[in-house]
Amino acid sequence: MLTQVAEGVLVHRSELLRNITVVVLGADGALLVDPGLTGDEFACLADDLAVLGAPVVAGFATHPDWDHVLWDVVLGSAPRYGTDRCAAAMREFLSDRDWQTRAAEALPPEIAGEVPLDLFGRITALPAGTERIPWGGPVVRIIEHPGHAPGHAALLIEECGVLVAGDMLSDVFVPMLDDDRGDNDAVADHLVGLDRLEAVAGAVDVVVPGHGSVGRADEVRARIALDRAYVHALRDGVVPDDPRIGPSVEPGWEWVNDIHAGQVQRLR
């Protein structure tokens, strides 16, 4: 089911990881950002788009993690863009002849059999420095920044003040540092990423994270502040005061504490 969050911008949320898919409507069809996880979800999305008379004319993956680079044949064959670095990371992943096994191993067991992998990770690179998604709809600015994953990009739909934040600014996940970087670099990178998002916060009325729930008005600044405080606490070796972790997290999300513990371990 699609829910409108701003004029011409709709979202669909997956149950398991609360992945949020974003649909931006343009004159010729829809831009689809981080399409979701399971075959059922893709079919539901395709049906909803058909009802709206909006074929998918472009896709975008905010970053090269499995839960953001899925696709299904029911969504059509539009180009699926990503930053140059994002596309390079996926090309490298797909160059391994065992990529399908590796991708399948990354899937949560609850949905493992329900995730179509045939079109996994086929991202079309936008040249480094590309400022807007090349499509016929409203201007969608690409804000590439360090932090979380190589080539991570947030999107700013200026006309309606929507920030699509990828795996930053979640209200369910603590900031997840880029594992592939050295420890100090990963902390510094994440802080730079948050600074880049803060630089556009004045233009944001609605923040849509890759996981969790949509935030409005001042919430974008509150989430940036909370993420920054978490990263500072990690860096400084102190226990973060953060509602996303601890004994009172929402039932079913206790494993976010494990993400936190793993990051503490790696930074030690």
List residues near Zn ion by CB under 5 A: 67, 167, 210
**Rounded to the nearest whole angstrom, what is the least distance from the CB of residue 210 to Zn ion in the complex?**
5
Nearer to Zn ion by C-beta: 54 or 256?
A: 256
Q: CA of 196: how far to CAs of 25, 58, 70, 145, 250, in Å? A: 26, 25, 26, 7, 30
Nearer to Zn ion by C-beta: 14 or 135?
A: 14
**Rounded to the nearest whole angstrom, what is the least distance from the CB of residue 81 to Zn ion in the complex?**
18
128: CB partners within 8 A, 6+ apart:
83, 84, 85
**Rounded to the nearest whole angstrom, what is the least distance from the CB of residue 265 to Zn ion in the complex?**
21
Strands 30-33, 20-25: pairing kind = antiparallel
Tokens of 144: 């590439």
DSSP string of 70-87, one letter each residue: ---GGG-S--EEEEHHHH
**Rounded to the nearest whole angstrom, what is the least distance from the CB of residue 82 to Zn ion in the complex?**
14
Question: Based on C-alpha coordinates, what's the Rg of the chain?
Answer: 18
Tokens of 13: 């949320």
Nearer to Zn ion by C-beta: 41 or 167?
A: 167
- Return d(Cα 29, Cα 26) in angstroms, integer: 5
Identify the three-state secondary structure at position 267.
helix
Nearer to Zn ion by C-beta: 67 or 227?
A: 67
**Closest Cα to residue 175, out of 185, 187, 162?**
187
CB 116 within 8 A of CB 72: yes
Nearer to Zn ion by C-beta: 36 or 210?
A: 210
Nearer to Zn ion by C-beta: 54 or 70?
A: 70
Other CB atoms within 10 Å distance of the CB of residue 53: 9
**Rounded to the nearest whole angstrom, what is the least distance from the CB of residue 236 to Zn ion in the complex?**
26
Nearer to Zn ion by C-beta: 41 or 67?
A: 67
**HSE-CB of 23 using CA atoms within 13 angstroms:** 25
**Rounded to the nearest whole angstrom, what is the least distance from the CB of residue 152 to Zn ion in the complex?**
10
**Rounded to the nearest whole angstrom, what is the least distance from the CB of residue 250 to Zn ion in the complex?**
17
